[in-house]
Amino acid sequence: MPEPRLMVHAGPTPAGVRLTGRAAGSPEAKAASWRQEEVRAARRGRPLAPRSASTITATDAIGRQAVIALHEELALYPKPGLVSRVDSGSHADMDAGTFLRSLFSLRRYFPAIVRLGAAGRPFADLQACGMTAETRMLRATGGVNTHRGAVFLLGLLGASAGALLASGQSLRASSLRAMLLEHWGPALAAHAAVRRDLPGSIAARQHGLRSAAQEAALGFPVLFERVLPALEAGLRRGLSPDQARLDALFAAMAHLDDTNLARRGGRAGLAFARQAARGFLAAGGAGRMGGPQAALALHREFVSRRLSPGGAADMLAAACWLVRIQSPSKGFQPLGGDVAAILREPAAPFPC
């Protein structure tokens, strides 16, 4: 499969971005090539500069951080079995271009659902908005599911952040989780009790796992009690952002009932992933000498087994988003390349 090279082109396509060509050399060289291409792409496509912080509404800003956080997850490498800008991991049906097209289709969804939360709308309205977003995502990717889990997870979290804004409370993780359960906890519990035929729900039933809906009804305990603390602890210890994100990803893999892993590898595949993640962290994580090489070795092993911890990837993106909204100074820096193209001024509000 050709290695990707980013090109941003003008035109009315819903993607706005596509991947073509071949990048040669080591993974490090490929990543460097991608960064150079992003700069050239931004110049060729002349994407609109992001609005200044003074002209961005609070709800828009929170929603934009979700897109940036999902891009941070995509850009992280190496990460076991997952799509990055270097390779497609364990996936034959998607690559980084697929993810960029998906993010472009979702760029107005996240601010919209923050506004719904600020207006105190019921769960049924949030769900309808999420279903509209999912339809747009699938249209943009040709039917490939890139961000269904993120639409659900970050949608609920975004709505909770909107409710916090409306109540005049600060954007703190503990307050956000409490707001989620206070406003939509009973509806989420009822939602979790409904038998569904989505792939993740089927895998959860088959293997006796906690589904995404059940995780939401509990207030996302893995995110708030495992993944976010791992990310924040890594940053406090002086790890680079990528090292801290990698440790947070492995924390998610070690604790989450990831139905993506169960669908691909059964209970044995999920157990292997958990053991590998716990071993990586016990050995010192990404910040130790040889940490990146160990992560790359695990990436290759996951690819050989066709394992992909997609649920853990969504948890990582959500943790990145939480760090961003709790530290606003990190969220309004000028953006370039593909992120700037995705976050250009929307022409119309999202239909929900």
Q: How distant, in Å, are the alpha carbons of 101, 152, 185, 324 from that of 131?
A: 17, 9, 19, 26
At 50 the pLDDT is 40
d(CA 352, CA 350): 6
d(CA 283, CA 248): 15
Tell me the backbone φ, ψ of residue 6, rounded to 5 degrees.
-75, 135
The answer as to whether 348 is a domain residue is: no
**Among 73, 48, 161, 145, CA closest to 112:** 161
- The answer to whether 31 touches 40, Cβ cutoff 8 Å, is no
Which residue is associated with the tokens 């971005």? 17
The answer as to whether 347 is a domain residue is: no
The answer as to whether 350 is a domain residue is: no
Q: How distant, in Å, are the alpha carbons of 10, 133, 138, 245 from that of 228?
A: 38, 25, 29, 10
The answer as to whether 35 is a domain residue is: yes
The answer as to whether 154 is a domain residue is: yes
At 36 the pLDDT is 47
* pLDDT digits 0-9 by tens, 188-201: 999 999 988 888 88
At 333 the pLDDT is 47
At 11 the pLDDT is 29
* pLDDT digits 0-9 by tens, 303-323: 999 999 999 999 999 999 999
At 71 the pLDDT is 95
- The answer to whether 218 touches 257, Cβ cutoff 8 Å, is no
Q: How many CA atoms lie within 13 A of 13 on its CB side?
A: 14
d(CA 23, CA 96): 13
The answer as to whether 136 is a domain residue is: yes
At 348 the pLDDT is 67
Instruction: Collect all residues with Cβ–Cβ distance below 8 Å to 195 and sequence separation of at least 6.
Output: 201, 205
The answer as to whether 349 is a domain residue is: no
The answer as to whether 352 is a domain residue is: no
Structure tokens belonging to residue 48: 């609109």
Number of domains in the chain: 1
**Structural domain for 81, as ranges:** 5-342
- The answer to whether 340 touches 292, Cβ cutoff 8 Å, is no
Q: Helix, strand or coil for residue 19?
A: strand
At 336 the pLDDT is 55
Burial, 104: exposed, middle or buried (Cβ in 10 Å; 0-12, 13-18, 19+)? buried
Burial, 172: exposed, middle or buried (Cβ in 10 Å; 0-12, 13-18, 19+)? middle
Mind listing the pLDDT tens digit of every residue in the chain (352 residues)? 332 222 222 223 333 333 333 334 444 444 444 444 433 433 444 333 344 443 458 899 999 999 999 999 999 999 999 999 999 999 999 999 999 999 999 999 999 999 999 999 999 999 999 999 999 999 999 999 999 999 999 999 999 999 999 999 999 999 999 999 999 999 999 999 998 888 888 999 999 999 999 999 999 999 999 999 999 999 999 999 999 999 999 999 999 999 999 999 999 999 999 999 999 999 999 999 999 999 999 999 999 999 999 999 999 999 999 999 998 654 434 455 677 677 765 556 788 8
